[in-house]
Structure 1
């Protein structure tokens, strides 16, 4: 799957020393607006508004062992459903990016994982029969 994320309007403010901050509706706080954070916030909005994933089941910068996954979406039973690694828009998505999200998923065991730089989104899953990673063409509907 390769798709781009629409541009959404966000609440942004300037800090005391001129730094920009964006309001994260998941964490309910202002966070420094860095290029990767912009991609993360855009992707959160896309998951909620276009894919209809519940905001209450999205975790931002979720601790995974000694790392932090950018986004983890949980199903209604509290099990990881989707793990997402976000990169700034100037970063080319690569095998390294995929390996990073797979490292998180080795602990989380979500059936789906994605990588994005805001301009491209790739979704993956594992084929349970062959145990091979497969690129998917569309996001799965959120499980009921």
Structure 2
């Protein structure tokens, strides 16, 4: 798999029927190792190992309904009170992040009202704080470390 602009982690990877699978520590199972999944697993480990977010507050592919359409967030991190804190949209490294990427995560956030948004293709990362009063993104250098509330 392609090297990413994220710290490296030790992953459990196995091959079955000429297909690679990676162990997801949140879902506690092996999942197909696609380029997007490679990015997702790095972001998960980054949030847990580098930013100290408890694994118990992280949901993967959380279902939500927007305008009667079923959607899934790539990663959703909750506060200790159970409210959405961070939405992460992962793209494959070959996918260029553009306005459509931000529009997608913004639509999810209309429903979830998270404090932070992350869009990443593993090479480029965008961290935003949602300023609800001004109804705008505030771009950050990085996502904050976990602080229990």
1:51 corresponds in structure 2 to 51
For these two proteins, the number of residue pairs brought into alignment is 141
Q: Matches of 1:27 and 1:88 in 2, distance apart?
A: 20
Q: Runs of 4 or more off by more than 4 Å in structure 1?
A: none
Q: Matches of 1:46 and 1:133 in 2, distance apart?
A: 22
Q: CA deviation at 1:31?
A: 0.4
1:71 corresponds in structure 2 to 75
1:138 corresponds in structure 2 to 142
- 1:119-139 Cα deviation digits (max 9, x unpaired): 121111222332222211221
Q: Which structure 1 residue ranges, 5 or more long, are not aligned?
A: none
Q: Which structure 2 residue ranges, 5 or more long, are not aligned?
A: none
Q: 1:88 aligns with which of 81, 92, 102?
A: 92
The alignment's TM-score, normalised by the length of structure 1, stands at: 0.93
Q: Matches of 1:130 and 1:107 in 2, distance apart?
A: 18
User: Highest relative contact order (Cα 8 Å, sep 6+), 1 or 2?
Assistant: 1
The alignment's TM-score, normalised by the length of structure 2, stands at: 0.90
